[in-house]
Structure 1
Amino acid sequence: MANTKSAIKRNRQTITRTERNRAEKSRMKAARKTTLAAIVSGNKDEAVKAASVFSSVVDKAAKRNLIHPNKAANLKSKTAKAIAAIG
């Protein structure tokens, strides 16, 4: 257990950041599932809307260093490819 005031504060900050990051990652996963469900259903309009939301969430996660920027690009590319295949 932390003894100094600074160590206690660091523990508090770590807990807060961990909760925030977990929520953001969860939001990203939920957006991805929604997008994939729209793609599987074959509804292109719905899939495009869901992909737009997913793209925004992924970009924010990459900006906040929750995921690597290349991973964000790969995820967005995969969804764009899948939507194009609906055609």
Structure 2
Amino acid sequence: MANHKSSIKRARQTIVRTERNRAEKSRFKTARKAVLAAVAAGDKEGAAKASTVLSSYVDKAAKRNLIHPNKAANIKSKTSKAIAAIA
């Protein structure tokens, strides 16, 4: 357990940030699943709408260093390819 006043505060902040980061990551993973589900169902319009939401969440996660910027680009690229593959 932390003994100094500053280390006690730092421990509190870490808990809050961890929860926030976990929620942010979960949000974009859920959005990604929504896009893939729409693609699997063949719903091009729904997939496109879900893709814009996913793109926003992924960009925010990359900006906050939750994921690497290249991973964000890969995720967006793969989902756009999947949407384009729908006939």
Is TM-score (shorter-chain normalized) higher than 0.5? yes
RMSD: 0.5
What per-residue deviation string (whole Å, max 9, x for no partner) do you get for residues 45-75 of structure 1?
0100000100100000000000000000000
Query: What TM-score do you get using the length of structure 1 for normalisation?
Result: 0.98
Show the counterpart of 1:39: 39
Show the counterpart of 2:9: 9
Query: What TM-score do you get using the length of structure 2 for normalisation?
Result: 0.98
SS state of the match for residue 76, structure 1?
helix
> Please, which runs of 5 or more residues in structure 2 have no aligned partner?
none
Show the counterpart of 1:85: 85
What per-residue deviation string (whole Å, max 9, x for no partner) do you get for residues 9-42 of structure 1?
0000000000000000010110001010001000
Counterparts of 1:82 and 1:23 in 2: how far apart (Å)? 26
User: Superposition pairs for residues 5-84 of structure 1, below 5 Å?
Assistant: 5-84=5-84
Q: How many residues are paired up?
A: 87
What letter is aligned with 2:85?
Answer: A
Identity among equivalent pairs (%): 75
> Please, which runs of 5 or more residues in structure 1 have no aligned partner?
none
Counterparts of 1:47 and 1:37 in 2: how far apart (Å)? 8
